[in-house]
Structure formats: C-alpha cells, structure tokens
Amino acid sequence: MNALRQRKSWIAILLLALLLGGCSSRSPQETADAAPDEVPQVEPKGKVYYTYFDTVSYVYDYAGDSAERFDDRSAEVSHILSEYHQLFDIYHEYSGINNLFTLNKAAGGDALEVDPRLIDFLLCARDMYELTDGEMNIMLGPVLRLWHDCREAAEANPSEADIPSAEALEEAYRHTDISLLEIDREHSTVRLADPAASVDVGALGKGYATERAAEYLEQQGAAGYVLNIGGNIRCIGDRPDGSGWVTAIRNPDNSADDFVRRIRIRDTACVTSGVYERYFTVDGVRYHHIIDRDTLMPARYYDSLTVITPDSALADALSTALFCMPWEDGNELAKEIGNVEVLWLFPDGEQRGTPGIAGLTEEQS
Ligand code: ADP
Ligand code: MG
C-alpha cells in the first residue's frame, strides 16, 4: 500500500473511532454563526491552577452557573487534570501508580501494569502517529531528551550554550521506532522493548487531558464553559447569547500582546504551537522545542501554527505534526481529516489559512 493510501485508511479508521467513542469520543459539531439573542451577558467566573503539566490552567464559566455548581465542576476538572498530570509525568514517580516515568525506567524490562486510562492514551498516541505519518511520535523521547538537556544547560549557563551533536541525535533516533511501544489492552500492560527507548508526551498529553475534562463537563450538561490548559483552549458549547469566544493569535515576532488576528470560536478546540514558546539561543540562532524527525532539528517551516478542530487531543497532535510538514502536505492532511482549520504563519510574515479560517476571523477594529 502506498503511503497516502495507507494514511487514508488510517483516517477512515480514526474517524470511525471518533464516532464510536474511542480515542476521541466527541463527534464533530457544526460551529455555524448563531445570531445573538436576548440572553443577558453574565460576568464569567474563573478558576486558575498552577500545578498541572508545568503550565497554567484556567476554567471559565460564562453560563452563569451557581457558585456552588461552578465550584463542584471546576473541582472535578482539577481532579481529572491532576490524575492525568500524574499518569503523564516523565520526571517524577508517585506512590501507588505506574506512570510514564515508571514506564521509561522499566524500558527493556518486563511489561508494566498500568491504569486503563494510560492504555487508552497510548493507543490514541499510536493512532496519532499513524494519522500524521509519524511526524508526531511520542517515542521520540531519546531525541527530545538531548534537546531538553541542552536547553536546560543553556538556561543555566547561556555563554556555554550548545546543541546536541549529529552523532548523538542519530544514535538516539535509533531507539524511537513506534513498534518498540508494546501495548496489551486486554491485560492493561505496556512495555518499551528497548532499554534506550523512552516516551515524551509533550505534544499530546495536555490536549488529551483537556479533552477528557471537556468530556466530563459535557456529560454534566455544562455549556458556556471554556478550558485553557496551557494554551490548549477548548470551548464547551457556546455563550448563552450565541456569540462564541474570541481568541487572539499572537504575532510570533513580537511581545505577547501583539496579535496578528482574532478568531471567533465556539464548541471546539484551538491549539497554537510556536517557535517563541520554549527555546534557547546558540550563536544568535534560536532553537525551539518542536523537533522534525527528518532532520532531528527544530522544524523550520513556520513561526507559528494554529489548529481549530472539535477534539482537543487531535488539535494538540496536529499542532505539532503540521509544524513539521511542508505546507502542501499539511494542507492536504487537514483536508483529508475534515473539520480541521489551520492558520500557518511563515517566517517571512506570510499567513495562510484553510478555507474556513476566513469565516472565523474577526474584522480588525
Ligand atoms: P506546547 O505543548 O509546548 O505548547 P506542542 O504541543 O507543539 O507545544 O508540543 C511540543 C512538545 O512536544 C515538545 O516540548 C516535546 O516535548 C514534544 N515534541 C517535540 N517535537 C515532537 C515530535 N515531532 N513528535 C512528538 N513530540 C514532539
Ligand atoms: Mg501539540
């Protein structure tokens, strides 16, 4: 089977999984513009958490739930995030659970029994690998660790900053094959079949956890909520007046309050990956944190890229994968998957969007 046909069959399987409630259990929903009605605006309520995924998380209620109900719902969102935070943590272990730190530590050894939620997540990660033709690969751990260590060393001592050697990167890459991740769903076990293999779920974990929290809110019948988990934005329903929410896309060249466009969203997820998010500098060259498996270097196609699609896990995986693809391939993939809007910001300032982006863009005032 050629690569494109193989990818298409994966897309068909994945879309079926979406509908059947597998990896991403939400079916895509229309986000057509609804005319604002007479519902009065209420002051949003918000909660902020600093302890999950090494980032800041917000929960907002724009629907005017009672304080008690908002407290209950945000507490449960926080609980869901805290559990996924522990399961996905590759730097710490927690008593009583086998998480990704434990999995990496046990690489090359016996299969490890893990929480079924971790199995579901790893299966989703594998689906995302197939869907993106391997551009988003959680098994890139050994390569990402080299970059991570250089970034930390550069932060500690900028004058000594350096990048990993090509030899070290190539050696690390030999231990990143997706087939080294052995998942046994029936027995709820997982194994890394190479002592030098490791997973890094930075490209997918937050988006996946965000989707699980959104799923809880939807099951509660909540609408008019917004989650922002370290930039993974997920709107649950719409504002009561049908006006949606406006999110501003940052100018990658400038300060955090300079925006290139404002996009109106409702009942969907919106995730941006950018070169300005995490990086270090060597000899005036900036090295950011999204690594292209073809070069083992930071991807150089774009300065920032935004994905809008109903499922936050898919949005997160695609934000990283499309970042590592030439525009033609990324545009084709977005079209094949369907109900995916993308805004690409090129290093020379050019902006390109999928056809639906124009309809979501707010006029500049
Ligand atoms: P962020 O979560 O920082 O906003 P991303 O969603 O794009 O940004 O994820 C970037 C993170 O994903 C990196 O910090 C690294 O841990 C991991 N990563 C980088 N490149 C890849 C890749 N090609 N495939 C899988 N994971 C990657
Ligand atoms: Mg991502």
202 C-beta closer than 6 A to ligand 1? yes
Other Cβ atoms less than 10 A from the Cβ of 333: the count is 21
Q: Does ligand 1 lie within 6 Å of residue 231's CB atom?
A: yes
With a 6 A CB cut-off, is 324 part of the ligand 1 pocket? yes
pLDDT value at 22 more than 60: no
Judge whether residue 20 has pLDDT over 70.
Answer: no
Does the pLDDT value for residue 27 go beyond 50? no
Domains along the chain with CATH numbers: 3-88+203-360 (3.10.520.10), 100-192 (1.10.3980.10)
State the amino acid at position 228 in one-letter form. Answer: N
Question: Does the C-beta of 132 come closer than 6 Å to ligand 1?
Answer: no
Contact 197, 107 (CB under 8 A): yes
pLDDT at 33: 32
Stretch among 2-6, 155-159, 300-304 having the lowest mean pLDDT: 2-6
Rounded distance from Cα 18 to ligand 1 centre (Å): 23
* Relative orientation angle of helices 205-219 and 67-88, to the nearest 10 degrees: 150
Between the CA of 313 and the centroid of ligand 2 the distance, in Å, is 8
E strands within the chain?
A: 45-49, 57-61, 112-113, 181-184, 189-192, 225-229, 232-236, 245-250, 259-265, 269-274, 279-282, 285-288, 291-292, 297-298, 304-309, 341-345, 351-353
Phi, psi of 313 (to 5 degrees): -65, -45
CA Rg, the chain, in Å?
20
Residue 39 burial by Cβ neighbours in a 10 Å radius (0-12, 13-18, 19+): middle
Which residues partner with 192 through β-bridges?
Answer: 181
pLDDT at residue 296, as a whole number: 98
**284 backbone φψ class: left, alpha, beta (φ>0; ψ -120 to 50):** left
State in Å: Cα 65 to ligand 2 middle.
31
DSSP states along 110-144? --EE--HHHHHHHHHHHHHHHHTTTSS-GGGHHHH
How many angstroms separate the Cα of 306 from the Cα of each of 16, 48, 99, 323? 25, 23, 30, 9
Measured in Å, residue 227 CA sits from the centre of ligand 2 at 16
- CB of 133 closer than 8 Å to CB of 139: no
- Beta bridge mates, 234: 227, 269
Query: With 70 as the cut, is the pLDDT of residue 16 above it?
Result: no
Q: What is the DSSP letter of 159?
A: G
pLDDT tens figures, 326-354? 999 999 999 999 999 999 999 999 999 99
335: Cβ–Cβ under 8 A, 6 or more apart, which residues? Answer: 354
Closest residue CA from atom 19 of ligand 1:
290
Residue 273: CB within 6 Å of ligand 1?
yes
On the question of pLDDT at 5 being above 80, the answer is no
Ligand that lies nearest to the alpha carbon of residue 290, given by its number in the listed order: 1
Q: Tens digit of pLDDT for each residue in 102-142?
A: 999 999 999 999 999 999 999 999 999 999 999 999 999 99
Distance between CA atoms of 126 and 172, rounded to whole angstroms?
Answer: 20
pLDDT score at 41? 67
pLDDT greater than 80 at residue 203? yes
Which residue's C-alpha comes closest to atom 6 of ligand 1?
203
- Separation of CA 133 and ligand 2 centre (Å): 15
Q: Are the beta carbons of 242 and 30 closer than 8 angstroms?
A: no
What does the block give as tokens for 142? 């050994």
- pTM reported for the whole predicted model: 0.90
- pLDDT above 50: residue 14: no
* pLDDT at residue 326, rounded to an integer: 98
CA 230 to ligand 2 centroid distance, Å:
11
Ligand 1 binding pocket includes 289 (Cβ within 6 Å): yes
Neighbours of 287 (CB within 10 A): 21
